[in-house]
Chain A
């Protein structure tokens, strides 16, 4: 067990924008990342289906080769991409919409060495959330989803489907995936105890 008690979480509140809205942080490709360019967009909705215009979403993902830019990822260093950190941040607008530009991540080994399907880790903070919500975005058009141990661990198919980002009709550079985040109630997104 850890010896020092952890500092408790508190809500981000509604007034974080001047501090946390950082120019360019919603575009993970700006340093010239390798891989297939994609966009991820969607809305954050509350238990009444109303848009949340004061949510912050953070993205953490592996690069196109499936490696995280972090010393605790033991995969070979030659899989690193100097042009890709893997972290992004976006804020919801008045209609609850957020949008990221990134690249499609590669497959990352999971516990026991089983390859996971490509996924993006998403964390949600908002007024009214006393702690961070964590979920995973998977790609609805990805063949390896059927082999993914985390998806397989979710017994309820309705909950499992909330993790699938839906490719939108083509237009512009790269595929646009739609991923709505429902905080509560009907269609509630599956969140994880990370």
Chain B
């Protein structure tokens, strides 16, 4: 009867302190988090069915001013709970850099061209099957100051709302076969190799559109309900 959300399996989530990702050194809390028994505050969360999160934006390749540069890709997948059931009407927000590896952001000083026709921002609600679908541009790799000559692998940031405060997730989607993955401390912050692989999208020829776009599948699993009986 009592709803509770399961704890992650060992190694399936990154530790907060991961020295190879230098920004964690001054930002990761030093004390372990306090234990909290889940109650109403944790098992509830915002719903988006009323439409207040605003209209969907799922085609990132076209601005009013023109077409974005780069390789068109379809990115689609399902938002699932821990029992493999679809999460309907879940809010999916994403952001990414352009094909040259540059974000439309004042802090991004990477010497690569801004694409005036590409904001790199999308959002939608999942449908009755828990599915989302975006048409976008394959993001480029870009250098970052974490280490000398360090480069981030191509990635798309995803922000996800499931049924509860406890299921909120922000993550990154990567691309299969990217040689930069093996050198990326953020990707490697996840200790378990099988868990890391869940961050890598799958190229799916059936999703590709002839003469138009390549298709990638990225299913996302949020924390599931813990079915262990209360008090056992």
B-binding residues in A (CB < 8 A): 1-20, 22, 46-48, 50, 52, 54, 58, 60, 62, 68-70, 72-73, 85-87, 108-111, 116, 119, 121, 123, 125-134, 136, 150, 153-154, 159, 183-185, 188-194
Residues in A neighbouring B66, C-beta threshold 8 A:
none
In the assembled complex, how far is the CB of residue A169 from the closest CB belonging to chain B, in whole angstroms?
30
22 contacts between A and B (CB under 8 A): A2-B83, A4-B224, A6-B224, A8-B195, A9-B13, A9-B169, A14-B107, A19-B93, A19-B159, A47-B30, A60-B165, A68-B44, A72-B3, A72-B163, A85-B52, A125-B170, A130-B14, A133-B29, A154-B34, A183-B26, A191-B29, A191-B31
Beta-carbon contact of B30 and A185 below 8 Å: yes
Q: Determine chain A's interface SS by DSSP, over half rule.
A: loop
In the assembled complex, how far is the CB of residue A64 from the closest CB belonging to chain B, in whole angstroms?
15
In the assembled complex, how far is the CB of residue A155 from the closest CB belonging to chain B, in whole angstroms?
10
In the assembled complex, how far is the CB of residue A22 from the closest CB belonging to chain B, in whole angstroms?
7
Alpha-carbon separation in the docked complex, A47 to B30 (Å): 9
Q: Determine chain B's interface SS by DSSP, over half rule.
A: loop
Q: Does B65 contact A (CB under 8 A)?
A: no
Residues in A neighbouring B122, C-beta threshold 8 A:
19
- Identify which of A8, A116, A128, A194 contacts B23 (C-beta below 8 A): A128
Known: A9-B14, A130-B16, A134-B33. 7 other contacts (CB 8 A): A2-B82, A5-B221, A87-B45, A110-B40, A131-B16, A183-B27, A191-B31
Beta-carbon contact of B26 and A6 below 8 Å: no
A-binding residues in B (CB < 8 A): 3, 6, 8-9, 12-16, 18, 21, 23-47, 52-54, 80-84, 93-95, 97, 103-105, 107-108, 119-123, 157, 159, 163-166, 168-172, 186-187, 189-190, 194-196, 198-199, 220-228
Contact flag A9-B170 (CB < 8 Å), given A1-B6, A184-B26: yes
Beta-carbon contact of A10 and B38 below 8 Å: no
Residues in B neighbouring A132, C-beta threshold 8 A:
168-170
In the assembled complex, how far is the CB of residue A112 from the closest CB belonging to chain B, in whole angstroms?
9
Which residue of chain A is the closest to B17 with respect to CB atoms?
A130
In the assembled complex, how far is the CB of residue A148 from the closest CB belonging to chain B, in whole angstroms?
12
Residues in B neighbouring A58, C-beta threshold 8 A:
168
Beta-carbon contact of A18 and B121 below 8 Å: yes
Residues in A neighbouring B40, C-beta threshold 8 A:
62, 68, 72-73, 108-110
Contact flag A188-B26 (CB < 8 Å), given A1-B6, A2-B224, A73-B44: no
4 closest Cβ contacts across the A-B interface?
A2-B82, A128-B23, A2-B224, A70-B44
Contact flag A183-B28 (CB < 8 Å), given A10-B186, A10-B199, A19-B93: yes
Contact flag A10-B170 (CB < 8 Å), given A1-B226, A20-B159: yes
In the assembled complex, how far is the CB of residue A135 from the closest CB belonging to chain B, in whole angstroms?
9
Alpha-carbon separation in the docked complex, A193 to B32 (Å): 9
Alpha-carbon separation in the docked complex, A121 to B43 (Å): 12
Which residue of chain A is the closest to B34 with respect to CB atoms?
A192
Residues in B neighbouring A2, C-beta threshold 8 A:
6, 81-83, 223-227
Beta-carbon contact of B227 and A1 below 8 Å: yes
Alpha-carbon separation in the docked complex, A95 to B60 (Å): 32
Beta-carbon contact of A8 and B21 below 8 Å: no
For B26, B105, B157, B166, which residue has the most chain A Cβ atoms within 10 angstroms?
B26
Contact flag A16-B21 (CB < 8 Å), given A6-B12, A6-B82: no
Beta-carbon contact of B54 and A85 below 8 Å: no
